Amino acid sequence: MNSEMAQVYETNARVSIPTYDALFGMVQSYFRAELSGEGASVLVIGAGGGNELSAWGPSNPEWTFTGVDISEEMLKIAQHKTNQLGLSNRVKLIHGTINDLPEDTAVYDAASCILVLHFIDNVQEKLDLLRTIHSHLKPGAPFVLVSAYGDRDSTELKDRLHVWGSFWLDAGRAPSKVNEMVNTGIMKISFLPEKQIEGLLQESGFTNITKFFVTGLFGGWICHAAGSNGVGIESEV
């Protein structure tokens, strides 16, 4: 593992999203409430860096995790964290996309896809990913999606970019560099308006779609895999 790279990721994630650690705490609370304290299998899409594993693994000894990531470098960091925390017997890491999960993989009790969707440019590929996640979940299972969002042509996104830039200025980045990050660098990721993200979740079979998180450029949604009859858990009881 390249420890310098790992450290840069840890620092930058918390500048870009000052509520980064709180986000993982909130998701843990929700999963705990939904998973009723028993053993649960959690699918982590984009597990690189290992922060879902280190945030939720030690404090939930009954949970097992399957982490998927396309980056070998990031997975090395996740593996290192997993080993250091003594989680190896409860964590399986897979190099690749969700399509590389073993064919016979059982469905999971919960899933997360945190800070991944905006790296996928093509809307159909985003939808395919969300649909495949849904296909790997038990009916009613909670799913958390966190992604950059916004309408590229809106002043609303411009204003949030300005806020995001302020986080970097305050962390000591040179104004010229922040200017470049705001106007060019971050614009390379794929922003979708929140209504479109919610539409993709719905089209993928998720229900009870609830926005629970916003910080700077990023939003988070909690939802549930629809039951086998296509309706949400609330309608099934």
Ligand X SMILES: C[S@@+](CC[C@H](N)C(=O)[O-])C[C@H]1O[C@@H](n2cnc3c(N)ncnc32)[C@H](O)[C@@H]1O
Residues at the contact surface with ligand X, assessed by CB under 6 A: 13, 45-46, 48-49, 51-52, 68-71, 74, 97, 114-116, 119-120
| Closer CB to ligand X, 115 or 161, in the complex | 115
Quick one: how many helices (H) and strands (E) in the chain? 9, 7
What minimum distance in Å lies between the beta carbon of 122 and ligand X? 11
What minimum distance in Å lies between the beta carbon of 149 and ligand X? 15
What minimum distance in Å lies between the beta carbon of 40 and ligand X? 18
Dmax (CA) of the chain: 56
What minimum distance in Å lies between the beta carbon of 232 and ligand X? 25
CA 183 distance to own-chain centroid: 24
| Closer CB to ligand X, 42 or 140, in the complex | 42
Q: Which residues, including other chains, have CB under 8 Å from residue 231's CB and lie 6 or more apart? A: 207
| Closer CB to ligand X, 45 or 178, in the complex | 45
Q: Residue ranges of the alpha helices (H) in the chain?
A: 3-16, 20-35, 51-56, 72-84, 123-135, 155-170, 175-180, 194-203, 233-236
| Closer CB to ligand X, 71 or 105, in the complex | 71
d(CA 197, CA 202) in angstroms, rounded, equals 9
DSSP state of 137: B
- Number of residue whose CB is nearest ligand X: 48
| Closer CB to ligand X, 192 or 232, in the complex | 192
199: buried, middle or exposed (CB in 10 Å: 19+, 13-18, 0-12)?
middle
What minimum distance in Å lies between the beta carbon of 228 and ligand X? 26
